[in-house]
Amino acid sequence: MSASKPADHPVVKSPKIGVVLLNLGTPDGTDYWNVRRYLKEFLSDPRVIETPKWLWWPLLNLVILSFRPQKSGHAYAQIWDKDKNESPLRVITRDQTEALAQRLAGHDNVMVDFAMRYGNPSTKSVLEKMQQAGCQKILLVPLYPQYSATTTATANDKAFEALAEMRWQPAVRTAPAYFEDPKYIETLGNSIRDGVAALDFEPDLVITSYHGMPVEYLERGDPYHCQCFKTTRLVREYLGWDKSKLMVTFQSRFGPTKWLEPYTDVTLEALPGKGVKKVAILAPAFSADCIETLEEINMQGRESFMHAGGEKFAYIPCLNASPGGMDMIENMVRRELSGWL
């Protein structure tokens, strides 16, 4: 029989396991100052911008942050969820979190939450909340199928920064990239097949548009480029499609340096002139629809393609909190919690 605790002993919380879904982030509003605050945090990350600080900071603070927030704010306003007064990324990531929590509800000691690398809820605040609630083991799940230092690594970095300040630090696991996970390939393939089947036209081409990065990052050893192409190849093989049916492009380039090619915007403008006038496009690097998919692709991309002579354009949504998407996330989380649950 164990000895009873002294009367003045602090309350001991029952041990819990935390699961944190990590995503990129979002401004809290579409106004200049909210967007500026978000962009400053994002573009100050040395994982994202590897330009020497002495050169980048004056350019960022004196030039880019003077005009970029207005442009980005206008783009966010086009897709903002006005009912919830939040960006789609935050709304969808919360939906994914709540759906995962329901699926793990049979485990009373599991706590599920989400955090953003930039903006709110901050990674630090969520990890502190979990630690205070009694989470002695925490699984970090970066929601990036393909690994990059600019996404997965910096999301984990921010978590490690918060953990470094804790006296009683929980044990931590980080989920790996899942670009070739059979369940992910199956789910992504099904979403493409079902998305195309629901259209009122037959696409001449289906484009998988991935977020781009400077070519220099690839040359320094970032595996992202290869993992993007492998995801599309595996999906094409799963669907049994010909190589000419599914194409890889890269979007969202920023600045004058050379980025991964082919560029999505340039490709969309050129395709109608080559006789490809009916396309469907999706963004496999994103786990949730956001400004890069809803505004950049489905609005700007659509307009460019149609203006260049295209006839039909369709955007296939991200997996989001769809049943298939949540099956995939649950499968991954349960696998990574093996031995803890």
DSSP per-residue letters across 55-74 = HHHHHIIIIIHHHHHHHHHH
In a domain, 35, yes or no: yes
Would you say residue 110 lies in a domain?
Answer: yes
Q: Are residues 143 and 234 in the same domain?
A: no
Residue 159 located in a structural domain: yes
CA-angle at 40, arms to 160 and 221, nearest 5°: 55
Q: Is residue 4 part of a domain?
A: no
Domain of residue 285, residue span: 182-315
- Domain at 261, CATH number: 3.40.50.1400
Q: Are residues 22 and 161 in the same domain?
A: yes
Residue 294 lies in a domain: yes
> Does some domain include residue 272?
yes
Consecutive 10-residue runs of the chain (341 residues): their mean pLDDT? 63 88 98 98 97 95 96 97 97 98 96 98 98 97 98 98 96 98 98 98 98 98 98 98 97 94 98 98 98 98 98 98 98 98 90
* Residues 189, 171 within the same domain: no
pLDDT of residue 9: 62
Q: How many CB atoms are located within 10 Å of the residue 144 CB?
A: 25
User: Are 241 and 191 members of one domain?
Assistant: yes
**Shared-domain flag, residues 233 and 277:** yes
Task: Establish if 244 belongs to a structural domain.
Answer: yes
DSSP characters for 83-134? Answer: TTTB-HHHHHHHHHHHHHHHHTTT-TTEEEEEEEEEESSBHHHHHHHHHHTT
User: Residue 200, class by beta-carbon neighbours within 10 Å (0-12 exposed, 13-18 middle, 19+ buried)?
Assistant: exposed
Cα gap 222→219, rounded to integer Å: 7
Q: Are residues 129 and 67 in the same domain?
A: yes
143 and 25 assigned to the same domain: yes
Q: State the pTM of this model.
A: 0.94
Question: Across-strand partners of 250?
Answer: 210, 263
Sequence-distant (≥ 6) Cβ neighbours of residue 109 within 8 angstroms: 14, 15, 16, 17
Q: Tell me, what's the pLDDT at 183?
A: 98
Kindly report the backbone phi and psi dihedral angles of residue 135, in degrees, each rounded to the nearest multiple of 5, phi listed first: -70, 110
The pLDDT, as a whole number, for residue 33 is: 97
Distance from chain centroid for Cα 119: 14
Instruction: Give pLDDT, residue 265.
Output: 98
- Let me know whether 31 and 174 are in one domain: yes
> Are 42 and 78 part of one and the same domain?
yes
Do 268 and 309 share a domain, yes or no?
Answer: yes
The reported pLDDT for the residue numbered 190 is 98
**Is residue 158 domain-shared with residue 55, that is, in the same domain?**
yes
Cα–Cα distance between 60 and 219 in angstroms, integer?
24
| Within a domain: 2 | no
pLDDT score recorded for residue 315: 98
Classified as helix, coil or strand, 211 is strand
| Number of domains present in the structure of the chain | 2
Q: Could you tell me which of 333, 340, 339 has the C-alpha nearest to residue 178?
A: 333
E strands present in the chain? 16-26, 110-119, 135-142, 171-174, 205-211, 246-251, 278-282, 312-315
Residues 31 and 146 in one domain: yes
CA torsion, points 65, 67, 70, 73, in degrees to nearest 10? -50
Which residue in the block uniquely carries the two structure tokens 């006038």?
A: 277
